[in-house]
Amino acid sequence: MVKLKKEWNNMERYTDTISGEELYINTGPAGTKIYCKDQAMTIIHRLDGPAVEYGGGGKEWWYNDKCHRLDGPAIEYSNGSKVWYVDGVFIMTINERGKIVERME
């Protein structure tokens, strides 16, 4: 999962098309974009798409600083592996071949 680096200083504003909230986007040196609810970049959050977009193709969905997605995996790695979270609670992991490799008990 993403670790925000405070030294990233390439901040833009963005309006979420679902909630209408004004968010802040910080873009890292490798093209990673992180959407946050606050200008201090402490609450990762976005409703209308992934809150983290890695330069290499991976994506993460976050809501109020919790890894969260109801309509699919909350994390999609560029190799095809997927991880499901709801409200910050781990549900399961599916590898790049589509096999469940770990799940909530």
* Average pLDDT, integer, range 33-44: 92
CB atoms within 10 A of CB 73: 19
Q: How many residues does the chain have?
A: 105
Query: Phi and psi (nearest 5°) for 100?
Result: -70, 120
Amino acid 31 reads: G
Which residue, 81, 76, 87, 84, is CA-closest to 103?
84
pLDDT band at 9 (very low <50, low <70, confident <90, very high): low
- Residue corresponding to tokens 């330069």: 55
| pLDDT tier for residue 66 given thresholds of 50, 70 and 90 | very high
What's the pTM?
A: 0.89
Domain boundaries, the chain: 11-103
pLDDT of residue 8: 61
Predicted confidence (pLDDT) at residue 15 exceeds the cutoff of 80: yes
CB 14 within 8 A of CB 35: yes
Q: Could you tell me the pLDDT band of residue 88, with boundaries at 50, 70 and 90?
A: very high
